[in-house]
Chain A
Amino acid sequence: MLPKQEVVAMLLAGGQGSRLGVLTKKLAKPAVPFGGKYRIIDFPLSNCVNSGIDTVGVLTQYQPLELNEYIGNGQPWDLDSMNGGVHVLPPYQKNKGSDWYKGTANAIYQNIPFIERYNPDYVVVLSGDHIYKMDYSKMVQFHKDNDAACTIAVYEVPMEEASRFGILNTNPDGSIYEFDEKPKVPKSNQASMGIYVFTWEKLRKYLEDDEKDENSSNDFGKNVLPCMLNSGERMFAYRFEGYWKDVGTIDSLWESNMDLLNPKVELDLNDESFRIFARTPVMPPQYIAAEAKVQNSLIAEGCNVYGDVDFSILSSGVTVEKGAKVLDSIVMPGATIKSGAVVQYAIVAENAVVGNSAVVGERPEKMENLDEWGVAVVGPNYKLGDGEYVAPKAMIGEEV
């Protein structure tokens, strides 16, 4: 028997992330690069470590190759520990057949044996598609103080946007009385962040019951949580304040990256007391050439910049050749922007090449019809030829 862990975190990292198009064709969403040297999963993983949770199960299913390699033994997050640590949990074959993870709840259900090994009191369920810094230990404390069966983190969204979210309606004491999935007329602006704390004993029972229900789609939001509420369990909303962003779409991924350049946004990646850790490639410092012009940007190590970079994020090992312009864009690891090319309001994915004098994206102020405007995307490993053009909102990538 392994030493008991009071809290075990389960990170749902198996989703396809189809709204990210070419970026996630061969890559699980949590492994999508973010902010120059991070990947999305660095945020929940670092949050766990910074919250004192050192037993984390990462549930993978879709295109796990790169994600598995990235997580490795967990050493970059100090999760290569003697007890606990990070464990990648793909679906596996059991003596009564094998199953893919059917839904979020089923993914946890299939890993009950993993969780039981640590005999935890509480299980934190996280998702791998949000950018935020959060001390989960405060939420667990809140959960304990309320003697709750389940606590759901909520974020206050602008009322006019509330109908896009799963909304929680609460009593004055914070207890939840209703779930309102994408309500037409929202009663509150408390959106669920997809972060749950469960009392393990309770969760196990509801997961087992849910599994027996053949009509269930085995999903937390659709099945397990409503079932708990209907059974009269104590469920509370935990209000989170600070930066939080879902990066499930191209636009929100772009915006969230750009938020790092906004001094007014509260997401300090340099805070030594709450670091975001990442597996860092071994590369020399970045070189900014004499003819380069760099402003308002975030640039990672291993970059070589000979052109102009403004309001942009360059990830590790990016090359911007002489005369090239990168404006309001995100360039992911290892990409090359060749001489004379213009990249604006765009995402250039890992190891892509933008050919000489090619143009990617357009500035919104130059558009006659703003509805046709959007962030342009060049997919991973794609080689955009010399002088070629990628229209705003367009996505170009390798055929898979």
Chain B
Amino acid sequence: MAGNNVVGVLFAYVHGKRISELTTNRVMASVPFGGRYRLVDFALSNMVNSGINKVGVITERDYQSLMDHLGSGKAWNLSRKREGLFLLPPFGTDNKRSDGKIESLASIKRFLANSHEDYVLLSDCDYVCNIDYKDALKAHEKSGADLTLIYRKGSSPEGIDANIYEVDENGKVTDSIVKNSGNKDVNVGMGMYIIGRRLLMNLVDVCMGRNIVDFDRAVIRKCLDEMKVNGYEFKGTALHITSMTAFFDANMALMDADVRAELFNANRPIYTKLRDDMPAKYGLGSSVTNCLVADGCIIDGEVENCILFRGVKVKKGAVVKNCVLMQDTEVGENATLNYVVADKDVSIDRERALMGYKTYPVYIAKGSKV
């Protein structure tokens, strides 16, 4: 099986600054999403479902919540005698210009050297998607490329750096430009790369030696100049978490039955840590419409267009609309919320009213009392 010939490496920490509110005390990978998940669940499950059973997760700092979540990797079937999940410890870096990917790969040199797989799959944790990497690997092997870049077609996000690729009719990547102005109908890099393991180790050595550390610009440029680089288009739904608004919209996108059917494909399930909550309880006089609700919720009020994470309580008379309420948030009696993103363990007292706007949801920090 091809998958067993691949070792996965996840950059758990990159892109966190784009949603700095949610990453104050956690890395990008452990940002909660979709009622019961963390972003890492998608990246990790995609690898596991593609037959990859050795995954290294690179962390930098504030990784306690990530470690809590991942534990031994059991929930992803990655707690095993051979291979499995490897949490790769933080690394030091003085170079603040880049995301430190090359430095972090240099710091896990031993992990890479001790692996026996021929290929490495690198991935960030800022996409919510259900991708079968087996197809991408097949394409990589068939094309004989040294490096395969995974991209999606569509518009690139405004205001943040995105890799835009030029791909010719044979699938060869001819150019890569980093842009931060939104562009329509372009090939947007998804931060997922397939490369030979030895080749990657050499590349890291060479780049470190010459201080070529800006991954998206210099390293990719170098690869384009010196290697055969192909593109692989992912055609499915890809929700890109680039800002608080994008985070909010991506959560709301789950209300679409087609999006849910694709993301939560029963043959390629998205795994996550279990909590053993009881099923959600809907009280007398509760009204819930167009909502995604996780186990352990107790709803006695009115909820519309919301994502309720595990253990959320909405008391009688409360009216909650267009909100993302994370784990164990409590909304008091007769409180009114509209366009609010509440982090974990937030408690909103009775009669309070909080109102954001579609393009600017109000964010309430973890553990706050309103």
- Residues in chain A within 8 A of chain B (CB atoms): 35-37, 75-76, 269-270, 275-278, 280, 282-301, 304, 309, 313-315
Contact = CB atoms under 8 A, between A and B. Distances in A.
A300 B255 contact: no
B292 A286 contact: yes
B61 interface: no
A297 B282 contact: yes
Contacts of A297: 281-282
A290 B254 CA distance: 13
B271 A282 contact: yes
A266 B246 CA distance: 43
Interface string B310-351: 000000000000000000000000000000000000000000
Nearest to B299: A294
Given A287-B293, A301-B294, 13 more contacts: A36-B278, A284-B35, A286-B280, A287-B260, A288-B293, A289-B290, A295-B284, A295-B286, A296-B282, A298-B281, A299-B282, A301-B36, A314-B279
25 contacts: A37-B278, A76-B276, A270-B296, A270-B298, A275-B276, A277-B276, A278-B276, A280-B274, A283-B269, A284-B35, A284-B36, A284-B263, A285-B36, A285-B307, A285-B308, A286-B292, A294-B282, A295-B286, A295-B287, A299-B279, A299-B282, A299-B293, A301-B279, A309-B282, A315-B279
B284 A296 contact: yes
Contacts of B92: none
A285 B34 contact: yes
A35 B282 contact: no
Contact of A299 (B260, B269, B280, B285): B280
A314 B283 CA distance: 14
Given A280-B274, A285-B294, A37 B74 contact: no
Contacts of A314: 279
Contacts of B34: 284-285
A287 B36 contact: no
B237 to A, nearest CB: 14
A287 B276 contact: no
A334 to B, nearest CB: 10
Contact of A301 (B283, B287, B295): B295
A244 B254 CA distance: 40
Contact of B291 (A37, A287, A296, A309): A287
Contact of B288 (A275, A276, A292): A292
Contacts of B307: 285
B137 to A, nearest CB: 24
Q: Binding site of A, secondary structure by majority: helix, strand, loop or mixed?
A: loop
Interface string B19-41: 00000000000000011100000
A301 B264 CA distance: 12
A163 to B, nearest CB: 35
Contacts of B278: 35-37, 269-270, 276, 298
A155 B1 CA distance: 57
Contacts of A283: 264, 269
Contacts of A290: 289-290
A284 B280 contact: no
Contacts of B288: 288, 292, 294
A284 B264 contact: yes
B277 interface: yes
B270 interface: yes
Interface in B252-279: 254-255, 257, 260, 263-264, 269-272, 274, 276-279
Nearest to B278: A269
| Closest 7 A/B residue pairs (Cβ) | A285-B35, A36-B279, A269-B278, A300-B279, A290-B290, A284-B264, A285-B294
A297 B299 CA distance: 10
Nearest to A317: B266
B283 A296 contact: yes
B292 A287 contact: yes
A296 B287 CA distance: 10
A155 to B, nearest CB: 23
B342 to A, nearest CB: 16
Most buried by A among B257, B271, B287, B293: B293
B309 to A, nearest CB: 8
Nearest to A291: B289
Contacts of A282: 269-272
A298 B280 contact: yes
A280 B276 contact: yes
Given A269-B278, A284-B264, A284-B270, A37 B295 contact: yes
A294 to B, nearest CB: 5
A289 B295 CA distance: 17
